[in-house]
């Protein structure tokens, strides 16, 4: 009797979960179905006469547009730049904070936490001025100034940095000191010890942070920052390209928009499903030490 009521409870709870989760499932189902349909009424693919059918690959004709490959390349460079930048910078800063004693260490750590909580999106207007200043510098300005891929990449790295430093410090804290000490006694410099001895030991953590940074760069940072600081469409990302499509496309052509969306989603989904276990650690990373 008790077992039965226990089962009833579980089924009831599952039902609640299914209902609240429904919008997410419907959203992805819609994306998948309308990508391959002439158009859809709700989730049902229909042909020109409004009857069931109308399956097509025509929505993928955007792949013939050279602009999509340009913005895809831009997005890839952008996301990889963020990944490499975040890993290298936060690994070196995290190492110093984990292993070294220097005046201002306490202050730097507090600052990292504070910046981690502070939403830098509010500073976008002022960042516009910083980028314009960088633009005025010789050589550097052309690479990292306003309206350059390098500039928006730097801004995005900075925004991701506090979380990265915090996580990296945590990874380093868990590495025993013995090998590093041996390396230092054998005459390695701090830099060599860090790069050759300690870094290989935190590979899983680096891997997780790298995938996280790539996903964030590919899908999240690639919208607002390039949207605000890039003028030419050819310098944009898939996100700005897609946003442009959404605001100009009529409802009948939803299929094309959906196809571009799926195109952008596929690499992220692959990474996410591959590394889901590692990523959970990062998503709750801000939580360290509180529970």
Partner 1 sequence: MRGDLRKTNTRSGRGDRWNAIGFLFPSLLLVILFFFLPVIITFFLSATNMSSSTGFRNWQWVGLANYTKILNSPRALSRLWLTLQYVALTLVFFNVGMGLLLAILTTRIPARMGTLFRVVWLLPRVTPIVVYVMMWIFLAADAPYGVINQLLLEPLGVAPRYWIAAHPLLAIVLVNGYIGASFGMIIFTSAIQSIPPDLFWAAVVDGASWWKQIRYVVLPLLRWPLLFVTVYQTLSLLMSFEQILILTDGAYNTEVWALWAYHRALNNYWGHFQWGFGAALAAILVLIGIMLSALYLRFFRLNTLIQRPQIESP
226 in contact with partner 1 (CB under 8 A): no
* CA pseudo-torsion sign 272, 273, 278, 280: positive
- Which of 106, 139, 187, 232 contacts partner 1 by CB under 8 A? 106
Beta bridge partners of 37: 55
CB 209 within 8 A of CB 86: yes
CA distance 39 to 244: 20
User: Any contact of residue 51 with partner 1 (CB under 8 A)?
Assistant: no
Q: Which is nearer to partner 1, 28 or 69 (CB)?
A: 28
Angle among Cα 31, 32, 37 to the nearest 5 degrees reads 95
- Candidates 149, 159, 230, 259: give the one binding partner 1 (CB under 8 A): 159
Q: By CB under 8 A, what part of segment 63-102 binds partner 1?
A: 88-90, 92-93, 95-102
149 binds partner 1 (CB under 8 A): no
For 37, the 3-state DSSP assignment is strand
DSSP 168-202: HHHHHHTS-SHHHHHHHHTT--HHHIIIIIIGGGG
Q: Of residues 8, 17, 143, 274, which one binds partner 1 by CB under 8 A?
A: 17
Which of 114, 137, 140, 274: binder of partner 1 (CB under 8 A)? 114
Applying CB under 8 A, does 284 fall inside the site for partner 1?
Answer: yes
Residue of the chain from 1, 2, 3, 20 that contacts partner 1 (CB under 8 A): 20
Among 157, 163, 198, 202, binds partner 1 (CB under 8 A): 157
Contacting partner 1 within 115-144 (CB under 8 A) = 115, 117-130, 134
Least distance (Å) from partner 1 to the CB of residue 104? 9
Residues 6+ apart with CB under 8 A from 239: 75, 219, 222, 223, 226, 227, 264
């Amino acid at each position: 009797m008790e077992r039965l009521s226990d089962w009833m409870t579980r089924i009831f709870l599952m039902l609640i979960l299914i209902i609240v989760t429904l919008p997410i499932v419907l959203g992805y189902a819609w994306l998948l179905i309308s990508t391959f349909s002439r158009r859809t009424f709700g989730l049902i693919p229909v042909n020109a006469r409004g009857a069931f059918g109308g399956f097509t690959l025509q929505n993928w004709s955007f792949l013939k547009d050279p602009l999509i490959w340009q913005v895809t390349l831009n997005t890839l460079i952008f996301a990889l730049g963020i990944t490499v930048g975040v890993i290298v910078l936060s690994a070196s800063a995290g190492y110093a904070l984990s292993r070294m004693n220097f005046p201002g260490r306490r202050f730097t750590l507090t600052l990292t936490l504070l910046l981690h909580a502070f939403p830098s999106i509010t500073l976008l207007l002022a960042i516009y001025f910083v980028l314009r200043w960088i633009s005025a510098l010789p050589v550097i300005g052309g690479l990292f100034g306003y309206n350059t891929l390098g500039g928006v990449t730097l801004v995005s790295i900075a925004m991701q940095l506090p979380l990265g430093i915090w996580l990296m410090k945590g990874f380093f804290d868990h590495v025993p000191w013995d090998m590093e000490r041996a390396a230092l006694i054998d005459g390695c410099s701090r830099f060599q010890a860090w790069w050759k001895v300690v870094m290989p030991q935190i590979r899983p953590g680096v891997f997780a942070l790298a995938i996280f940074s790539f996903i964030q760069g590919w899908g999240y940072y690639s919208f607002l920052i390039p949207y605000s600081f890039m003028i030419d469409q050819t310098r944009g990302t898939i996100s700005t390209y897609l946003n442009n499509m959404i605001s100009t496309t009529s409802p009948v052509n939803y299929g094309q928009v959906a196809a571009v969306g799926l195109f952008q989603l596929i690499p992220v989904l692959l990474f996410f499903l591959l590394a889901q276990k590692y990523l959970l650690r990062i998503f709750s990373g801000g939580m360290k030490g509180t529970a």
